[in-house]
Amino acid sequence: MSYVAPVKDMMFVVRELAGLEDVSRLPGCEEATDETVEAVLQENASFVQDVLAPLNWDGDVAPSSLANGVVTTTRGFKEAFHAFGAGGWQGVKHPVEFGGQGLPKLVATPCIEMLNSANMSFALCPLLTDGAIEALLTAGSQDQCTRYIPNMVSGKWTGTMNLTEPQAGSDLALVRAKAVPQGDGSYRISGQKIFITYGEHDMAENIVHLVLARTPEAPEGVKGISLFIVPKFLVNEDGSLGKRNDVWCSSIEHKLGIKASPTAVLIFGDGKGEVGEGAIGYLVGEENRGLEYMFVMMNSARFAVGMQGVAVAERAYQRAAAFAKERVQSRDVAGSKGPVTIIHHPDVRRMLMTMRALTEGARALAYVGAAASDAGHHHADAEVRRQNMAFYEFLVPIVKGWSTEMSVEVASLGVQVHGGMGFIEETGAAQHYRDARILPIYEGTTAIQANDLVGRKTTRDGGAFAKSVVASVRETVQALAAAGTGSADLAAIRATLAQGADALERAVEFIASNAKADVRAVYAGSVPYLKLAGIVLSGWQMARAALAAQRMLAAGEGDAAFLKAKLATARFFGDHILSGAPGIAHSICAGAAGVLALEQDQF
């Protein structure tokens, strides 16, 4: 099944919900005119549809493989990556001075979505490279930026993030890798890193590893971690490649999904390279501030993983919808002469609408977040910047946590729509079910996102910012009340959104008021709180979409069939997804006793 990028929905969201017009007025974002953005999205769509989408299944059946320390990626990936770089797609959001296009995050975000819908395993390489670029932009010296970034932006080199060690997964305080200063400004790095995405591969000439390690005198815990550049091949003064560094891939993982993307175990300091023992590394920024720099990069990577959720959900939806229109089975429940295509069956409709509503809602929320990030970085007014950054940062764990959790559900429904054929690998639906499962885990599990949402984003100011978000939701409830006279859809959406806002407020109040007195009870409901926020805020965006659609329909603007579908999908979101909000609020506010009652040996 081929993938067709939903550019129409993307542009609707970019324009009507995320406010492209406002973004294009921001200093430095002037090039992001409506016309340019649509052209970029269309061009990106063509590229990923033609070049990357056809390789998605190939990557699943013929994954990357390791032999003698060399990883060979799926046939076609290397050429596709070359074309990706040549097309300028790695550079969409990166600074013009380093060869990028310098476009706003609001434009880069749909591009990331398409890339991942087309081929999630492939897309991980650019995603990690983006992260490495951002870390260097944040904390790298001018020389480091000039030396490494342009070749990463052009796709000549790629980047990685080396955080995890066997004993240090979610808990980076446990990192043990060592970095010993050599007196010449360089360090020798040794240790083992695991779960390194594209830690070794054959798609680029060099790999720029960014590695967390401890210097000899570093304090224990997260305050003693520094960030280092460890290139696979050292880079000479003239920019040419030098000696093979002492970093080696000892194995790649046998995974449930995203099989084409090699997940490497990397050994630093085996002594097998051309540099003696210990990988040569260069400190980024200051010693012991590695985690702080990594967090900048991780926030961006977390948002991108959220987009992977939207992306795989969209692909699963498209595949299921196409199958449902073709597969003939059983009569219509309301009566029909013979068997009909299964899209006529109400429950197949329900599944497709669920997939569609979840995907559109998560997309809208993420793009709105991207626009807030743009305003947060570029707005002329410092107070407006601050507010927008706060909103973006509030949304990051939600975009990451909620979009990925819902993607697992959507991919599972995608299998279900296919019936027995969904369980046969060749059908393709199962690949999405397998691929999606990593998303709520990597770049911080949903629980880690929820900790961030509760700890950094909600309780730190006693719930004040979270409540201001609820107040914004209520403005939309008011607008629905004003616009909704006579529209059954808007009235229904208003009712479920109002309930959702109340539920979210109850949860915020419970969390804020118990944060000190009963911290375990608060965290017992942390993931339900994240999901509740995901549902209510996505539902909010769907409600805003319904209002925009209603207005445009009344004005005779736009594509009527598209706008009516948007209205119906928003109605569905309200009745089937937002309607669950009060139940979740109950589980947050009343559920801790059941969560925490058992002794360890009762499990």
Tell me which residue of 491, 576, 507, 511 sits closest to 538, measured CA to CA. 576
Residue 294, token pair as written in the block = 């990594």
Question: 194: which strand partners?
Answer: none
Cβ–Cβ < 8 Å for 375, 22: yes
Give the nearest distance from C-beta 203 to a copy of itself in angstroms. Answer: 22
Shortest Å distance, C-beta 222 to a copy of itself = 11
Rounded Cα distance, 109 and 111, in Å:
5
443, 505, 509, 557: the active-site residue: 443
Instruction: Give the span between the Cα atoms of 416 and 397, in whole angstroms.
Output: 29
Sole residue written with tokens 């649509």: 38
Name the one residue in this structure whose structure tokens are 């397998």. 434
d(CA 422, CA 322): 13
> Among residues 149 and 549, whose Cβ is nearest to a copy of itself?
549
How far is it, in rounded angstroms, from Cα 293 to Cα 350? 44
Ramachandran bin of 276, using left for φ above 0, alpha for ψ from -120 to 50, beta for the remaining angles: left
DSSP H helices in 280-381? 290-326, 346-378
Cβ proximity to a copy of itself, 445 vs 468, nearer residue = 445
Cα dihedral across residues 167, 170, 174, 175: positive or negative:
positive
Residue 189 β-bridge partners: 179, 279
CA distance 40 to 487: 36
Query: Is the separation of the CB atoms in 289 and 226 below 8 Å?
Result: yes
The region that residue 560 occupies, defined by phi over 0 for left and psi between -120 and 50 for alpha, beta otherwise, is: alpha
Q: Is 253 a catalytic residue?
A: no
Q: Which is nearer to a copy of itself, 96 or 333 (CB)?
A: 333
Please tell me the distance from the alpha carbon of residue 462 to that of residue 473, in angstroms, as a whole number. Answer: 19
Provide the token pair at 414.
Answer: 């995608």
- Residues assigned a catalytic role: 443
